[in-house]
Structure 1
């Protein structure tokens, strides 16, 4: 297999040294081409060399790591973020389906991230993850989520999703343009959006967007309605928690 030509971008010498040693000792699929201590140096190296993968720090003086993408209309390299960034930013990385390693870097996580890059290259898949990531980070809340559907990733606006329905080891996602089957269990989405006050698990089979609910009924069994036709049950044990959640978000 052709080696992946990589660049390390980090302002800390010790961090670059540690990552370089890990790559040399444990990642034979990687050929390390160069190192850079800031974004401008990285841009020069990328323009002069064929770079397949950038290990990119986020918090750096002068320009943070995200500014690297302002220099390229369509980056041809993959990116693995190496960051000690805030918890919110880590969530933005995760839902945007971008590979990242949380500092301090561990060998297992490094190898796992590189495996993802290898798999993506083998599929010739190049989703626009960077644009979605920057959009999420610019918002006060997560705007879009990257969802694995089939052998690709589809980015959906969370405000367009009505609800997630459990389907065994899969999840059907109902949204304003129809529905899609995701290759993840519903618990994956519940965990991913656990801090998002737009979504609530009303039933073992349903994880719903409360902002799009049209009606909440206590008659003939607890239920919510979307568009006068989609009616979903609320489990009895979730009633009190659901009403508290709606009140906290100024809906009830």
Structure 2
């Protein structure tokens, strides 16, 4: 594949120069076409050139980085956000399956993000839309999660997910419309949603949405029930922690 044509957008000259130097020294697959100090300048460059990838600062004066996408009906380029956002906002980036580099920029994270984008471009996958990310940033809770299924990313509403089921190196996601096999281990989803009070690991094989549980039974073995037919076991060592978790969230 030919080099990835990239644009750097950041209001700080020093930040643009530093990122350019890092890319030139450590990412030979990237060809930096230009850099821009604001969104309007970036739009002009994108309209005049074939840009495959934009390194985009989030917090800039006048218009923040997200405003870039308002100028295009369809996004034709990949984006790596460069941000000093809070922990919550970073979680929104992660669950939305959007690549980011946390400032101050580290070489390993830069190379990792570039490798992911390079893989997407090699496989001719569609660029990620920013709608899910912006929606998650505006919500008090993460609303949607980007799930790698097959060769693409499917965005799922967390309120529609019943539970995650371990399946070796994969995870079956059971939701209101059926189920899908994700190419990640269940621990990935447990870590991703560690701060989300809707989800709890009841068993080594099950990570469940407690808000959709129909019944919690202490008889015939500890278990939870969904839709009066899906019965999932709770590990005995998880019983006390599970009940405390439910009480903290005003469910028990």
> Which TM-score applies when normalising by structure 2?
0.97
Residue 201 (structure 2) pairs with residue 201 (structure 1): yes
Please name the residue that 1:47 is paired with: 47
- Structure 1 runs of 4+ with >2 Å offset: none
Question: Structure 1 residue 127: deviation in Å?
Answer: 5.0
Please name the residue that 2:176 is paired with: 176
SS in 2 for 1:154: strand
CA contact under 8 A between 2:76 and 2:127: conserved in structure 1? Answer: no
CA contact under 8 A between 2:4 and 2:30: conserved in structure 1? Answer: yes
Matched residues, number: 252
SS in 1 for 2:19: helix
For 1:234 and 1:40, the matched residues in 2 are separated by 54
Question: Structure 1 residue 62: deviation in Å?
Answer: 1.3
For 2:49 and 2:94, the matched residues in 1 are separated by 29
SS in 1 for 2:125: coil
CA contact under 8 A between 2:200 and 2:210: conserved in structure 1? Answer: yes
Query: Within 5 Å, which residues of 2 pair with 1:31-70?
Result: 31-70=31-70
For 1:132 and 1:34, the matched residues in 2 are separated by 28
Residue 207 (structure 2) pairs with residue 210 (structure 1): no
The alignment yields a C-alpha RMSD, in angstroms, of 1.1
Deviation string 1:25-68 (CA, Å, 9 cap, x unpaired) is 22221111111111111112111222111000111111111111
CA contact under 8 A between 2:170 and 2:185: conserved in structure 1? Answer: yes
Query: Within 5 Å, which residues of 2 pair with 1:117-196?
Result: 117-126=117-126, 128-196=128-196
For 1:233 and 1:206, the matched residues in 2 are separated by 8
For 1:23 and 1:128, the matched residues in 2 are separated by 22
SS in 1 for 2:130: helix
Question: Structure 1 residue 5: deviation in Å?
Answer: 1.1
For 2:77 and 2:129, the matched residues in 1 are separated by 12
Structure 2 unaligned segments of length 5 or more: list them: none
Question: Structure 1 residue 129: deviation in Å?
Answer: 3.4
CA contact under 8 A between 2:164 and 2:206: conserved in structure 1? Answer: yes
